[in-house]
Chain A
Amino acid sequence: MTERLDLPGAEWRGVSRKYTIVEAVGLLITGIVLTVATSIPTVLTGIQWLAVIPVSLGIIFIINIALTPRRVRAIGYMLREDDLVFRRGLMFRRVVAVPYGRMQLVDINRGPLDRAVGLSELKFVTAAASAGVVIPGLPEQDAEELRDTLVALAESRRAGL
């Protein structure tokens, strides 16, 4: 298999390793809920082959959880001169570049799991239809600094719509 899509000579800034915990715990919870929910028909009806669904779901989630550390390592962002570049994904790799001037607003979100390990999620919203760039797993301090940097950069390069 060839190497993954990437920008040549890019120096990516990674996100906090602690984000692995958030991601893994989140997956674990969804995995358990879904597996239990899909196994209800098997338990109630006693039809053996219906068990295929919860079992395969369980396996998918276990593989997913095992891959979490690598997936978190694959998340990276980079502040270039005029734009913010963000990449994520192992299987489905996505690299996005957003000029600073396109910023409409910056959100900082903190879920319960994020809060437990002291992380934040930064959302960079543009006028585009797609949700924009979401950088997860930033330490709180970093997220706030990054937000201020981005706002300042966007202010200096303000563009229309």
Chain B
Amino acid sequence: MSDPREPAEPLEPREPLEPREPVEPLESVNATEPANLNTAEPAAPAVALTVPESARRLADGEWHRLHPATPFLRGGIAFVAIIGVIIVNARDVFLDTIFGGGSRELRFLERFAESSLIILAILAVLVILILSVGGFYLSWRMHTFRITDELVEVRSGILFRTNRRGRLDRIQGINISRPFLARLFGAAKLEVNVAGQDANVELAYLGSAGADDLRVAILQLASGTRAAEAAADAAAQAPTGVTGVVESRVNEFLAPELDPQAAPPESIVRISIPRLIGSLVLSEATIIAILVGIGIITTIIVTGDYGWIFALLPGFLGLGGYLASRLTRSLRYSIAATDDGIRVGYGLLSTTNETLPPGRIHAVEVSQPLLWRAAGWWEIKINTASQATSSSGATAKTTLLPVGDMADVHRVLQLILPSLADAKSRELLECGLAAGAHDDDYVTSPKRAAWLRWFSWRRNGFVLISDAVALRKGAIWRSLVLVPQARMQSVSMNEGPLLRRMGLAELRIHTVAGPISATIGALDRNDVVRFFDEVEHAAVHAAGVDTSHRWRSSGANTDSPAPTPREDNA
């Protein structure tokens, strides 16, 4: 068993940790690893468990209200714009009345002001103002939430009441986002994602620090740590010595933003800005745009008709917008392990920060667009059970690593699939990402499948790695799909007339909806039938021992993919 927060790879000398990083407790299993990487005694759980009083108050099962600025932030830009327009107009009129002058229009306004209509108008504005302020106040009053041991519940609406409950053991992720405007006001939106299409319980807006604390509190409740246990743990952790306490103080002091874990865990992957820009420039979209551009410029030269330029413009504006939005979204990217799963942060102006508890990732795809091969870059996407239909949020959530080299890929994979940390699995993963390999453990397509997989038949294959299924596909657009057995929904094998004639078949592993489809075709049918049985048994077994829906509860098995970080320390 391995801990997702253990140092990424024992062989790779990791750069010394900064002192403010909360050091993870090492388990006895990990004692063989170079312990000098970690400079201090375990302090993280103690810090993590001491949930600030404010958060405990919010998560006490009673009804609470949101941040008072909520209606304003929700109305957002529109509200600001309206106020802006009113102020600008009022100022003009005001100045003009003082300094006389003005155009005929204003003289009209003056006449208007002198007439009795002005009283009516002022009254109307006042009534609208009072109504809207009252409405906002009421909607804020009526918008309440509570968090109990079992569920998170939100009530809202004045005329049409809505009431939404999410079960804590079905949490698929907690997302804290801070849109730019909200950030200015120190507010944050906390979204509790449960499984399903658009099934999220949204707490918008909370105080920024409060949101972070609340996340810890919710995750703690969801993880199955009973309050009493938590208290006992905290007590057990308390005498970790002066160093622990001092360190936690220092951590708090040095932390750039208020974070419940005293200091944000160090990101295991850093994307330098040149790499990010390079990855965007080398994407297929850019290449297509350039080709289209060349085509249109040639047309202009040949026909001499400059009108074609206008055909070029919208495309380039669109592309520019797309690239810029991808860039700002991926800036300040960070991914790190916490006690309660993986935390992925994004964003320069508007930030999002998502926590995925263990066992919430249903499929992983490591892929490489053709143009990235020279640079050796890869992208990692995931399927999770909660989907957002909002366009911008969806891509951010399904892309776990926008761009990274091989070492980054291994670090991230180890984080999300901790069971693949041993040497054998690592070797298989490397084979899965390498070029066309024939003689590794992957069961690949037979030679006769070359008719269907012209270039990739040598690569096209599958293997069981530890407790995941790996499907290796594609020679030009390489990809490796990993599905944890505990998350498989069902397995199927298919064949059509053509495949049957060639003695081939297709294998498909059904996972929750997402960008990844775990399908592999053109394989020998006997291999497929055998693998089908093998995978199905593995899936049934894995589902049986899996306890990651309550990832820290006492029932957690040592061989489950969800580690129980503190059981060896108690």
Contact = CB atoms under 8 A, between A and B. Distances in A.
B543 A159 contact: yes
Nearest to B526: A8
Given A1-B500, A4-B500, A95-B492, A128 B536 contact: no
Interface stretch (A21-29, A39-47, A98-106): A98-106
Interface in B166-188: 169-170, 172
Contact of A127 (B494, B505, B512): B512
Contact of A126 (B359, B486, B510, B544): B510
Nearest to A94: B494
A83 B540 contact: yes
A2 B490 contact: no
Contacts of A6: 529
6 contacts: A2-B500, A5-B525, A99-B539, A129-B511, A129-B512, A161-B172
A157 B497 CA distance: 37
Given A93-B500, A97-B536, A129-B512, A5 B495 contact: yes
Nearest to B550: A160
A5 B505 contact: yes
Interface string B280-305: 00000000000000000000000000
Interface in B520-562: 525, 528-529, 532-533, 536-537, 539-540, 543-544, 546-549
B489 interface: yes
A160 B495 contact: no
Contacts of B514: 129
Nearest to B547: A160
B386 to A, nearest CB: 10
Given A91-B497, A129-B511, 6 more contacts: A82-B540, A97-B491, A133-B490, A160-B359, A160-B549, A161-B512
Contacts of A5: 493-495, 500, 505, 525, 528-529
A159 B546 contact: yes
Contact of B490 (A4, A92, A93, A102): A102
A48 interface: no
Interface string A144-157: 00000000000001
Nearest to A93: B495
Nearest to B551: A160
A46 B288 CA distance: 46
Q: Which 8 A-B pairs have the closest CB atoms?
A: A129-B513, A128-B489, A128-B510, A160-B549, A159-B543, A96-B492, A98-B490, A82-B540
Contacts of B470: none
Interface string A114-129: 0000000000001111
B496 interface: yes
Contacts of A4: 495, 500
Contacts of B170: 161
Interface residues of B, number: 42
Interface in B476-493: 486-487, 489-493
Nearest to A99: B540
A7 B536 CA distance: 12
B489 A127 contact: yes
Interface in A1-36: 1-2, 4-8
Contact of A2 (B385, B503, B511, B532): B503
A97 B492 contact: yes
A127 B385 contact: yes
Nearest to A86: B492
Given A4-B500, A160-B548, A92 B494 contact: yes
A20 B74 CA distance: 57
Nearest to A160: B549
B263 interface: no
A158 B362 CA distance: 18
A126 B490 contact: yes
A97 B510 CA distance: 10
A132 interface: yes
Contacts of B487: 161
B157 to A, nearest CB: 29
A97 B494 contact: no
A57 to B, nearest CB: 20
Nearest to B549: A160
Contacts of B469: none
A160 B514 CA distance: 18
Nearest to A97: B536
Contacts of A132: 490
Contacts of B489: 98, 102, 126-128
B195 interface: yes
B104 interface: no
Contacts of B533: 7
A129 B383 CA distance: 11
A32 B201 CA distance: 49
B14 interface: no
A99 B536 contact: yes
Nearest to B385: A161
Contact of B544 (A1, A95, A98, A101): A101
Contact of A160 (B496, B511, B546): B546
Interface in A63-83: 82-83
Contacts of B161: none
A1 B525 CA distance: 14
A82 B542 CA distance: 12
A76 to B, nearest CB: 14
A81 to B, nearest CB: 8
A92 B496 CA distance: 4
A80 B485 CA distance: 19
Contacts of A83: 536, 540
A125 to B, nearest CB: 10
Contacts of B511: 128-129
Given A102-B543, A159-B543, A161-B195, A94 B493 contact: yes
Nearest to B535: A97
Contacts of A101: 540, 543-544
B423 to A, nearest CB: 29
B549 A128 contact: no
